[in-house]
Structure 1
Amino acid sequence: MKRIIVLFLFAFLIVSCNESNQNKNQLLSESNGKINNVSIIIDESLWNGEIGDSIRKKFAAPVDGLPQEEPLFNLNQYPTKVFEGFARRSRNIIIVQKAKNASFIEKENVYAKPQKVFVIAGKNNSDIITMLEKNAPQIIQQIKAGEIAENQNRLKKSLISDKKIQDRFGVSINIGFGYKYEMVKDNFLWIRKEFSTGYNSLLVYEVPIETIEKDNDIIGNIIKMRDSIGKEYIHGVLPNTWMITEEAYAPYLFETKIQERKTYETKGTWELKNDFMAGPFVNYAIKDTKNNRYLILEGFTYNPSKAKRDLVLELEAIIKSVTFLK
């Protein structure tokens, strides 16, 4: 009987805690901030010294794969004493402070929702910098994931039909308003969104597994695949021009997972053969063993002399919304 009572009380406490957290989340206001913006809560004396330098080095480092240098995140610094109002409702917050002991704490939905709050503390500058060095990769990963999710939530507010994708490739993708089908083939789709200074493009196609894995030269095979697709489908306005992988620099290659499937992520720069147009691309080759293929989802951006980081992130958010239907 005692054991039953204890279990009942334990279950009651869990339910009560869950209800308390749900009620708290319902009372929280919506977080704010532009994509890839991070609020840094730190006193001026620390921000203007070696700690601030360490923060900028980690969180404002250049983004891989962009033709012009752009920071990983836009950093907005606020002194601790004025941490209120707009800053308190920021979607991404990093608090850096002096304390008796070195520590790192990660919290969610503290002042608003959705929100990630990271607290880094130390008794001196050396302690704080050590904690920053140790935990920066985890913080960056969490913020990136949150910004992808935020992008996806914004896209869901107004989606275009992905029936053409479903019918041809057996997957569903959330594609936001403004994108239109530029080219529709049995085995290839080009979807594009135009804006005043350029455009975003999404490509969907598939290749046999050996196309990517032949001779174990993954990056070389992906470049050959991209260049052949560009020559066949992605042409410029001028005669004899088509999209290729930039020849001067090798793209970045990472191994990751999408929908629990092995995926090769390639980031680099595209250019038009025999022309001067260029921009960043991100290519995801998702291994689909069941259907003996790699599903290729690629996004590329053309926005000359303008920022491209957030445009590429939007394409990543679209691609990572993919769901396999068969």
Structure 2
Amino acid sequence: MKVFLKITVLLIITAAWMGCEGDYRQEARGSYGEVVVVMDSTQWESQTAQAIRETYGRHILTLPSGQPLYDLRFREFKNDDQLEQLKRNKNLIIAAPIDDTTNTARWIRALLSDEVEAQVRSNESFAFPMQNQWYQDQWTMILTAPGDSALAEQIHNSEKTLTDNLLRKEFERWEEEIYGQGEQEALADTIRANHGWKIRVQHDWQLGLDTTYSEDGEQQHFLTMRRPLPENDRWFWAWWKNDVEDISFLDDDWINAKRDSLTRQWIRGSRDSSYVTTEYGRPVETESFRMNGYLAHETLGTWRMTKDAMGGPFANLTVYDEQNDRLFLLEFGQFAPKYNKRRFVRQFRTMLRTFTTDSTWQSGSGGGGQ
């Protein structure tokens, strides 16, 4: 994975009105999916601007409607009043060559220390994330380098690390919003008591199937939940298997084949011959990482209903609990043709990241439905 050349941590001095009892500043404005890019208008067609568009504004190929990763709004300022308005935004990218003569470059130099400026000029550092600099719940990224082409190259070379930094902030925001509206802690605790794993459950999801079955002589488990709303049907399913000591078989192909076999068996349509399956005519992407101490594989793509003109996005998480030799597949799906898909997939990815297992769990120690 490409990474920053180096990220210098900025020490943010707490504003005088932030006392011991908390931060009483106003919350930054704007949607989670919008990023205001502060650059001089003479540079909106520069190599740096293009690199920002190709990084933060690239199309999400795993969504049905090809939305951008973030909606970019390029803005400049010519006076203090305009600058103060820009500072109010929730997501800010401030970009310019370090020694440029534009207002944006002057602002960057005012924000960075002399030591950090020297690191930029020597190509040691170029990206500086900040949290809650002027308002609450605010994300800011300063991007600067000795020149336009050098800055564009470093943005391209660190594309994933740059976007992951903002995605992590967005997941934090969604987690607070999703569960701030209400949470079914009793249902989550019941699943944990019966099955040795847990996921935070939003207030209006309904438990569906909860079964243990045999396949090829081996015991397996399947559970579903649903959030049926008018024109916005959302569902969740989880499959797991105990006593999995060897995962050498686990790769992208196995994950997708297993997903398809499970949805064919358990996620059926209104017709007897219809079921949910992966739409392989569009990209299906899997990324591996460590999550809460587990080896995890996140798969994003679109599904379609066989024998029917239906489809939508899905977000899947395959998790291996190495301590207890347990393998899990968890997936959210949605059918909502009139709605923006990006925000819901981000919510699904956020909820999947609340998954944990019981470290004391032993096969056969819990209950469960049939």
Q: How does the TM-score come out when normalised to structure 2?
A: 0.74
Q: Residues 124 and 224 (structure 1 numbering): CA distance in 2 closer, same or farther, change over 3 Å?
A: closer
**Aligned-residue offset at 1:95:** 0.4
Corresponding residue to 2:54 among 39, 54, 57: 57
Query: What is the rounded CA distance, in whole Å, between the counterparts of 2:18 and 2:222 in structure 1?
Result: 44
Q: Residues 43 and 292 (structure 1 numbering): CA distance in 2 closer, same or farther, change over 3 Å?
A: same
Tell which deviates more after alignment, 24-33 or 311-320.
24-33
**Aligned-residue offset at 1:19:** 11
1:230 partnered with 2:263: yes
CA contact (8 A) 2:96 2:148 kept: no
Query: What is the rounded CA distance, in whole Å, between the counterparts of 1:312 and 1:84 in structure 2?
Result: 33
Amino acid at match of 1:144: L
Corresponding residue to 1:310 among 340, 343, 351: 343
Query: What is the rounded CA distance, in whole Å, between the counterparts of 1:127 and 1:23 in structure 2?
Result: 41
Describe the SS at the equivalent of 2:84.
coil
Residue-by-residue CA offset, 1:11-34 (whole Å, 9 max, x unaligned): xxxxxx899897396243223322
Corresponding residue to 2:183 among 116, 141, 159: 159
**Aligned-residue offset at 1:41:** 1.1
Structure 2 matches for 1:143-182, cutoff 5 A? Answer: 143-157=166-180, 158-161=182-185, 162-182=188-208
Alignment match, 2:314: 281
Query: What is the rounded CA distance, in whole Å, between the counterparts of 1:64 and 1:109 in structure 2?
Result: 31
Alignment match, 2:76: 79
Q: What is the percentage of aligned positions where both structures have the same residue? A: 19
**Aligned-residue offset at 1:301:** 1.8
Unaligned runs of 5+ in 1: 1-16
Alignment match, 2:292: 259
Residue-by-residue CA offset, 1:86-118 (whole Å, 9 max, x unaligned): x42333210012432654322221111222211
Q: Residues 212 and 298 (structure 1 numbering): CA distance in 2 closer, same or farther, change over 3 Å?
A: farther
Query: What is the rounded CA distance, in whole Å, between the counterparts of 1:160 and 1:282 in structure 2?
Result: 21
Corresponding residue to 1:29 among 26, 29, 41: 26
Query: What is the rounded CA distance, in whole Å, between the counterparts of 1:59 and 1:199 in structure 2?
Result: 29
1:190 partnered with 2:234: no
1:109 partnered with 2:132: yes
Residue-by-residue CA offset, 1:201-224 (whole Å, 9 max, x unaligned): 22122135759936x352222222
Unaligned runs of 5+ in 2: 1-12, 100-119, 213-220, 360-370
* RMSD, matched Cα: 2.8
Describe the SS at the equivalent of 1:110.
coil
**Aligned-residue offset at 1:292:** 2.2
CA contact (8 A) 2:23 2:136 kept: no
Q: Residues 270 and 207 (structure 1 numbering): CA distance in 2 closer, same or farther, change over 3 Å?
A: farther
Describe the SS at the equivalent of 1:153.
helix
**Aligned-residue offset at 1:120:** 1.6
CA contact (8 A) 1:29 1:113 kept: yes
Amino acid at match of 1:194: P
The structure with the largest strand share of the pair is 1
Describe the SS at the equivalent of 2:67.
coil
Describe the SS at the equivalent of 1:168.
helix
Query: What is the rounded CA distance, in whole Å, between the counterparts of 1:21 and 1:208 in structure 2?
Result: 54
Tell which deviates more after alignment, 303-312 or 257-266.
303-312
The number of residue pairs the alignment matches comes to 308
Describe the SS at the equivalent of 2:228.
strand
Query: What is the rounded CA distance, in whole Å, between the counterparts of 2:75 and 2:227 in structure 1?
Result: 36
Q: How does the TM-score come out when normalised to structure 1?
A: 0.83
> Runs in 1 of length 4+ with deviation above 6 angstroms?
17-22
Q: Residues 170 and 32 (structure 1 numbering): CA distance in 2 closer, same or farther, change over 3 Å?
A: farther
